[in-house]
């Protein structure tokens, strides 16, 4: 079993070494600079003062092994941090949904329309505060590949229901007063370089207009921000009236309704009342909280949570094996030295501490390198991905989780060798040689 592990560790090490040369090269350069400038001597002096000198020397006794192990740990924490951040961003829509917001869709499925008359009927139901109706426009700019999430809404009620959409009073007035006016999010404005007053030809990949084309001319009335950093501002909203009067599909219909209740405690009652109200109508409804709705939507993309868990778990487990095995081998090589230290009068407990500290340091050096790299990558991808994946930030929560795992990794990989060293008997250790 250990033999198999050793072989696996070797393959992982040297295979990884070749493939990933560009990434770990910086470690070498840092090490080299440390060595040449005497920074490592500075660290060493600090370690002497704090009694950690031996630990430090042991950690750095084989720079190649240290580099490879740190690299493996770094990759694990890079994967962990990036993947968890992605997951958080994907779920941001779910997490940020207001607690008192409900979505009313056609019970057949959410792409089927609802009659316009439902708006007022829903509004009349007890416990309902504000209602906005929304239509999916299927928008893009110039090329179908440049998709833009665009919805036709009732402006006043939209801003009442979506309090996260932050906009100044001037822009609000401008939008309400301009039939062709459109509100765009900050991320969208940045991505396309649009300013207030710009005339934008928005195309639809679903609808055609009465002039025989797919293009609606709209004017940017304002640029909104999100109340929280994680609220995605990569979409646009425009007047329902303008849309209805110009499209050829006809009829008095809306895509779905979003409403707020007076109190989240009323959610269930209100949802039930709405669905009952229309249970004998032609279009029956399905009302759920926005949270549940968004979650169901994301789950259609694939079971993201499970997938992510799988990746992270596999990466972690592999690293754990490699690091744990390396530590055990490294300590076993030092059997004679540990026996000598014990003979000189170093207590079993202090040697236990030294080895555990060493594995902790290892986990922290590699872990923080991975976390740092993840931060750089996420920051780099943030503006680039703002269009598709808003709210991409490496949150404190993710960082804290990563640090928690570093502690865990250090403990788990250090515990076995530290215990072995603790229990090492001087007489047998020397007579074994």
Ligand X SMILES: Nc1ncnc2c1ncn2[C@@H]1O[C@H](COP(=O)(O)OP(=O)(O)O)[C@@H](O)[C@H]1O
Contact 195, 171 (CB under 8 A): no
* 314 vs 428, beta carbon nearer ligand X: 428
Q: Whose CA is closest to 55, among 268, 309, 341?
A: 341
Among 131, 257, 341, 371, binds other proteins (CB under 8 A): 341
Separation of alpha carbons 46 and 168, rounded Å: 55
CA-based nearest residue to 330, from 68, 32, 4, 47: 68
Residue 431 lies near ligand X (rule: CB under 6 A): yes
CB 355, min distance to other proteins, A? 14
- Interface mask toward other proteins for 398-427; x: CB under 8 A: ----------------------------xx
Residues 187-246 that bind other proteins (CB under 8 A): none
Instruction: List Cβ neighbours of 114 (8 Å cut-off, separation of 6 or more).
Output: 104, 105, 106, 133, 253, 254, 255, 256, 257, 283, 285
For residues 32-51, which are near other proteins according to CB under 8 A? 48-49, 51
Residue 54 or 360 having the CB closest to other proteins: 54
Question: What is the Cα–Cα distance from 344 to 191, expressed in whole angstroms?
Answer: 68
Which burial class, exposed, middle or buried, applies to 252 when counting CB atoms under 10 A from its CB (0-12, 13-18, 19+)? exposed
Cβ pair 333, 24 in contact under 8 A: no
Q: Which residue lies nearer to ligand X by CB, 1 or 427? A: 427
Which phi and psi angles does 76 have, rounded to 5°?
A: -60, -45
51-90 residues in contact with other proteins (CB under 8 A) are 51, 53-54, 57-58, 60-61
Stretch that binds other proteins, among 212-220, 223-231, 342-350, 365-373 (CB under 8 A): 342-350
* Among the residue ranges 131-139, 221-229, 262-270, 343-351, the one whose residues contact other proteins (CB under 8 A): 343-351
Name the residue among 159, 216, 168 with its Cα closest to residue 196. 168
Binding string to ligand X for residues 371 to 410, with x set by CB under 6 A, is what?
A: ----------------------------------------
Q: How many residues does the chain have?
A: 433
As a whole number of Å, the CA-based R_g of the chain is 30
Segment contacting other proteins (CB under 8 A): 18-26, 234-242, 244-252, 339-347?
A: 339-347
Binding site for other proteins (CB under 8 A): 48-49, 51, 53-54, 57-58, 60-61, 336-337, 340-349, 426-427, 430-431
Binding site for ligand X (CB under 6 A): 427-428, 431
């Amino acid at each position: 079993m250990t033999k198999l592990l050793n072989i696996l560790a070797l393959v992982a090490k040297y295979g990884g070494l070749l493939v990933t040369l560009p990434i770990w090269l910086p470690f070498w350069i840092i090490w080299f600079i440390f060595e040449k400038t005497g920074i490592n001597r500075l660290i060493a002096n600090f370690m002497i003062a704090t009694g950690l000198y031996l630990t430090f020397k042991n950690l750095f006794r084989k720079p190649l092994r240290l580099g490879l192990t740190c690299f493996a740990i770094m990759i694990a924490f890079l994967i962990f941090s990036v993947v968890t951040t992605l997951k958080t961003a994907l779920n941001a829509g779910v997490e940020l949904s207001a607690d008192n917001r409900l979505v009313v869709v056609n019970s057949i499925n959410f792409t089927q329309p609802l009659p316009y008359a439902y708006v007022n009927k829903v509004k009349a139901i007890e416990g309902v505060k504000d209602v906005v109706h929304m239509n999916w426009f299927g928008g893009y700019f110039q090329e179908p590949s440049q998709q833009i999430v665009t919805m036709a809404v009732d402006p006043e009620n939209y801003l009442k229901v979506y309090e996260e959409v932050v906009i100044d009073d001037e822009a609000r007035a401008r939008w309400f007063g301009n039939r062709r006016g459109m509100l765009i999010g900050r991320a969208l404005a940045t991505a396309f370089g649009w300013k207030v007053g710009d005339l934008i030809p928005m195309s639809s990949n679903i609808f055609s207009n009465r002039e025989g084309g797919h293009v609606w001319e709209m004017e940017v009335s304002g640029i909104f921000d999100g109340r929280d950093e994680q609220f995605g501002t990569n979409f646009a909203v425009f007047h329902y009236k303008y849309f209805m009067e110009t499209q050829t599909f006809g009829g008095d219909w809306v895509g779905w309704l979003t409403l707020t209740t007076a109190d989240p405690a009323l959610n269930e009652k209100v949802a039930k009342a709405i669905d009952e109200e229309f249970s004998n109508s032609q279009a029956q409804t399905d009302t759920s909280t926005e949270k549940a709705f968004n979650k169901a939507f994301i789950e259609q993309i694939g079971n993201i949570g499970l997938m992510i868990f799988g990746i992270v778990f596999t990466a972690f487990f592999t690293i754990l094996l490699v690091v744990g095995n390396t530590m055990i081998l490294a300590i076993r090589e030092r059997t004679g030295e540990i026996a000598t230290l014990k003979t000189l009068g170093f207590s079993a407990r202090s040697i236990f501490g030294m080895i555990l500290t060493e594995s902790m340091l290892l986990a922290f050096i590699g872990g923080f390198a991975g976390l740092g790299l993840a931060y750089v990558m996420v920051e780099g991808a943030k503006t680039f991905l703002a269009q598709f994946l808003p709210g991409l930030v490496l949150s404190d929560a993710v960082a804290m989780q990563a640090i928690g795992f570093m502690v865990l990794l250090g403990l788990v990989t250090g515990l076995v060798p530290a215990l072995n060293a603790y229990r090492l008997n001087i007489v047998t250790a020397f007579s074994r040689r």
